[in-house]
Structure 1
Amino acid sequence: MEDSGQLVDPNSTQCGKCHKPFKQYSKKKKSFLMRFTMTALNVPPVNGGYVCYECKKAILAANIVPQEELHSKGPVKKPRRSSFSPPKRNTSKRFKTTATASLEEGHYPRMFRSLLESHHARVAFDDIVTETIKKETKQMKKKKSLFSRQFNAESLEIFSWEEAMLEIQEDMPFFFLCLSAAMPSSADMQEQDLQGKRTKSEMPDKQARQRWCQRVGTILSIILYSHQPLVHGFIQTCIGTFLWMNGCSQMVLKVLHAFGLSRARTGTMTGVNSLRDNAVKDIANWKAQ
């Protein structure tokens, strides 16, 4: 094929600009010429319409627009976003709008859920929860509650877990809700693992409710006992005295004391002596009648 000066010759073996022969490279046992069309470089095709790699770099370098001239022509248009990547949404504006609309409509749960989508709102919410629980715990420590009463036979006889739950719910409502949400319901506690199978136990509803109250109350008693062991140690004294009466070793009391579930040996013996003194007084009063 003859070169007309303006057409691309597919059989061309030399560069149309420097007239050097094209280099060859192999790919999958086939030989190819390293050449580039002038039309792809926005150059009119001459002398076969192909250029070598060195001439291609020279053409591209000559076509680069200087930075000063580029800015003088106006702002540069951003490349169009690919259809596979969705545009970013202004999440900050979106959750604020949803929270404001929910507040005006009185949908407070939806308002709080919208606010918690923000990292800063989440941090603020955590601070509020921490501050509220600390405030309730501080007020509970100052109050004479069922967990701070003196251990004796009379206080042990009139103690009630249901009454303790009512006191916690009244004095520490936020903390009580947190514990209730973390604990299983009394209905779920009726189901027990028996020989590896999930079966329905014969525990009545009242007993399941009492067990639920005992566990929630024990958790709170450990917290109060950790703050003021000499004041809020009624539950721990009850547990230690019960274990001593059943012949428990001092090592068990030591371990349970480390967990906050029982008084140490000295505190346990104080509770035992209190019951013994009450028993002696009851016997003396009975004889005096």
Structure 2
Amino acid sequence: GGGSGVGGGSGVGGGGGVGGGSGGGGGSGVGGGSGGGAPTCGAGEESPGLDGGVVFVPDGGLTGHVYVAHSVYPATGGFMRYGTAEFFAPGNPGLVDPRCTTSQQAGCTVRDCPGGDGGTQPAPDAGPRVGAGTVTMNLPNGGVSLTRQPDGTYFGFKLTTLPWWTCGEPIDVIASGSATGVPAFAARLPAPNLFRVSQPVSDGGSLPLTRGADLPVTWTPTSGVMSVAISSGNYNLHSLSVQCFVPGNRGNFTIPSALTQRLIPGDARLILGNSTETWVGAGAWNVQVNAVNFPDTFLLSVQ
């Protein structure tokens, strides 16, 4: 199935979704409790940007987004470091899918995309993007360079045997700038601490979930904002996703029965991710930078 709202736009904590934004993808494994190592540091505070700590808040101008992600990669027993970026052209509000509606229920966001076309029509496009030169993401133990794609977005990844971060290391995002697009900018933010999921626990298969039943989730308390999200259905037919944001140091959350009742029977995914974020100004663009950690993706069988 295609995406169903978990995996769009602006990362965890920014109100825009967990997942790949412009091509990065969502979580990367099946199973419980791998987590990439137990965090041992506190929640931490957001580091000042390389511009001296000035944080720019969107004011209705042009927008862009940079997404830095870290996840386990079960196929190799290691980790994936990846990133995406996109910067919207003047007059482009970003992806608006007329097939979908978004609503709030029980403090969570529900995205319902009914009446799909079975994949016979191309998915709505976010419209024209502009460049920002070369975009790199650097941490003390290595970095990732993003390559601009044919659709104007940026993407890059690297497979490693060691985590990209563990506890609040500084992440530097640097764009060289473009004379015909986004000027040069630099931003710094702390990495979200790694964490472990303790409930649910998976044996590698699909976990049964009864519609209308509460779904409790627990994790080791961690930094940043935690997103607890379920995507169900098939985007080309009918999909529905639920996404809830809670403080990472809370350590637990229950998706209420009223929300699981709305899920579409069949295969679904439960994705947990914590994040940090900052904003930076680049000429007329307000650029949101998110750093996100995904320890696991759990497969569900909604009944």
TM-score by length of 1: 0.20
Q: Which has the higher contact order (CA 8 A, sep 6+)?
A: 2
Q: Give the helix-richer structure, 1 or 2.
A: 1
TM-score by length of 2: 0.19
